[in-house]
């Protein structure tokens, strides 16, 4: 089991319930594939360094989790499917 850090930016135009639903969905992907979520840190709305898809603000979320080595690939696949909700993401092995 490896320790990972996932930082992703959600579309700020989403409702609060939709943002929470995306966070819960990604947490469920981690736990459903044999991983454990260590912490979830919602940074909130912040200004982007540069416009992405004509958006200047995004909702940042940081997740620390422990999982098998195959899980980051599955997380990337799920986030690419949800391109209208997840603007950018980065997974780093700690």
Domain spans in the chain, listed from the N-terminal domain onward: 2-93
Q: How far apart are CA 10 and CA 68, in angstroms?
A: 25
Whole-prediction pTM value?
0.91
Query: Percentage helix, strand, coil, to 5, in the chain?
Result: 30, 50, 20
Dump pLDDT digits (tens) for 46-85: 999 999 989 999 999 999 999 999 999 999 999 999 888 9
Q: Are 71 and 3 in contact (CB under 8 A)?
A: no
d(CA 14, CA 4) in angstroms, rounded, equals 26
Find out if CATH 3.90.1150.10 is the number for domain 2-93: no
Question: In the beta sheet, which residues pair with residue 7?
Answer: 62, 90
pLDDT in tens, 42-53: 999 999 999 998
């Amino acid at each position: 089991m490896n320790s990972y850090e996932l930082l992703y930016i959600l579309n700020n135009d989403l409702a609060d319930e939709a943002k929470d639903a995306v966070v819960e969905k990604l947490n469920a992907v981690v736990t459903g594939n044999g991983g454990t979520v260590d912490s979830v840190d919602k940074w909130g709305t912040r200004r982007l360094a540069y416009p992405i898809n004509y958006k200047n603000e995004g909702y940042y979320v940081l997740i620390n989790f422990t999982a098998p080595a195959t899980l980051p690939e599955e997380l990337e696949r799920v986030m690419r499917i949800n391109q209208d909700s997840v603007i950018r993401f980065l997974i780093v092995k700690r």
